[in-house]
Amino acid sequence: MSIRLTILGKSPSWQDRDGACSGYLVEVDAGPRLLLECGSGVFGKLRLHGEYERIDAVLISHLHADHLLDLVPFAYALTYGQQLRSQRPALHVPPGARAALRRLCGSWGSETLIEDAFELIEYDPAAELELDGLRARFRLVPHYVPSYAIGLDGSGARLVFSADCGPNDALVELAADADLLLIEATLAKPDLEDGAHLTAAEAGEIGRRAGARRLVLTHFSDMLDPAVVRTTGEQAFGKPVALAAEGETYEV
């Protein structure tokens, strides 16, 4: 038994050439299929990996477009596309998301589009969330808006996702001894003003401090030199790291 992680999109707030923003398919053997984030371009990538209505739940870390905008085409597909089952997939979103998504969809007159297509649930970041074989825990991490790093435990394995964040101790705590830490590495140089994103070196340092067994760097642009991203991440982590690439799968 294991957790299987497939990269659907790893771009930052603008898409790579033929790429997608944040989106990760998480599967447990004989268990749930979870879509972690649903940024721009992710829905089309998801369809390469099976029927979209096979998704049991969607989990969103924070309310930025590159992490949620493809909830719109996903909702249209669930509303007007083929119907494989009667039960709506659950959509677990941060506090305040219902109102934000209504404002988004209401700009063209479909205010409840997303909540009509999904079973929308605003999670409590202070509580654990049960996802039918997976247990999710949250930690608030520094970003421009409230952003929650997510720890997923199931089948004796632990996957931790950084969400978008700057350097912080909360992620180190959440990721302690994680089997795999999927962590953003957006920046080419440190953000000394806002501290809202990580460099590959800062990501590697968090992974080292947490004692994570494996590190996968994500949320970086194809405009960065991947060799530099990998090398600086490995120097800080102290052992090899992987660079997220669309279609790649990791067994956790």
Sign of CA dihedral 172, 174, 179, 184: negative
Strand order in the sheet with 57-59: 119-122, 90-93, 57-59, 33-36, 23-28, 3-9, 249-251
Considering only CA atoms, which of 43, 131, 130, 62 is closest in space to residue 101? 62
pLDDT tens-digit profile of 61-76? 999 999 999 999 999 9
Residue 24 — very low, low, confident or very high, per pLDDT cuts 50/70/90?
very high
User: Rounded to an integer, what distance in angstroms lies between the CA atom of residue 107 and that of residue 70?
Assistant: 16
Q: What is the rounded end-to-end Cα distance, in angstroms, of the chain?
A: 9
**pLDDT of 12 strictly over 70:** yes
Average pLDDT, the chain: 96
Residue 57: give the domain boundaries.
3-251
Give the angle 246-251-252 at the CA atoms, nearest 5°.
Answer: 115
3: pLDDT strictly greater than 90: yes
Q: Is the pLDDT of residue 31 over 80?
A: no
Tell me the pLDDT tens digit for each residue of 114-148: 999 999 999 999 999 999 889 999 999 999 999 99
How many structural domains compose the chain?
1
- Check pLDDT > 80 for residue 17: yes
Q: Could you tell me whether strands 249-251 and 157-161 are parallel, antiparallel, or unpaired per DSSP bridges?
A: unpaired
What confidence tens digit (pLDDT) does each residue in 78-92 have?
Answer: 999 988 777 899 999
Angle, in degrees to the nearest 10, between helices 226-237 and 200-210: 30
* Residues 32-36, mean pLDDT to the nearest whole number: 93
**Coil, helix or strand for 199?**
strand
CATH number for the domain spanning 52: value is 3.60.15.10
